[in-house]
Chain A
């Protein structure tokens, strides 16, 4: 998956801004290969929680319709972990209903050094890491 530096910085900035709550959003673009992000949709974490996230369904409907109108694919679903590594938790795996999407997780465990990893969650027990690249 390829993100521009501006998109990557926007994800990190949102994660920092919403800390200590988990931040979440959708990355849209070309399903590829290669998967290329063209637009970022920061979403409201309806849980407003430092431990969980759930996207607001009303926003999901709006974003999905807009993506369809503009011919964009769902590329990735991102969220932040504020106190644990960037790896899909049990809850992340239980609530992964888009196997075609990349799940990008940003950790703020070390707040000054946020880091991200990307995965495909095939089912509750099968997780594959996906390389992602920040490039113009």
Chain B
């Protein structure tokens, strides 16, 4: 099954949730935001959102910081 991740095609060899996809990409769920087909997912949705043929997934890591320790 082919999906697009950050614009690049990716062939998935198994039925996969967003949670599994993140695990496979070694991206901790607590430091990323995920969008599927232009809709931002809540973190609770990662485990129950199953990818479908042609889905466009965007994954961005948090960009943050500041002077506070």
Contacts and interface: CB of A to CB of B under 8 A. Distances in A.
User: Do A and B actually bind?
Assistant: yes
Interface of A: 22, 24, 26, 43, 47, 49, 51-55, 57-58, 60-61, 64-65, 68, 77, 79, 81-84, 88-98, 103
B58 A55 contact: no
Given A58-B40, A61-B33, A64-B6, A22 B63 contact: no
B40 to A, nearest CB: 6
Interface of B: 6-7, 31, 33, 35, 40, 58, 60-69
Given A57-B40, A58-B40, A68-B7, A89 B61 contact: no
A65 B69 contact: no
16 contacts: A26-B63, A49-B68, A54-B63, A55-B63, A55-B64, A57-B33, A61-B40, A64-B58, A89-B65, A89-B67, A90-B69, A91-B67, A92-B65, A95-B64, A97-B62, A98-B61
Contacts of B40: 57-58, 61
A26 B64 CA distance: 11
A98 B65 contact: no
A52 B58 contact: no
A97 B33 CA distance: 12
Contact of A51 (B6, B33, B58, B68): B68
Contacts of A54: 62-64
Contacts of B31: 95, 97
- Pairs of residues from A and B, 4 with the lowest C-beta to C-beta distance, nearest first: A52-B66, A92-B65, A97-B61, A57-B33
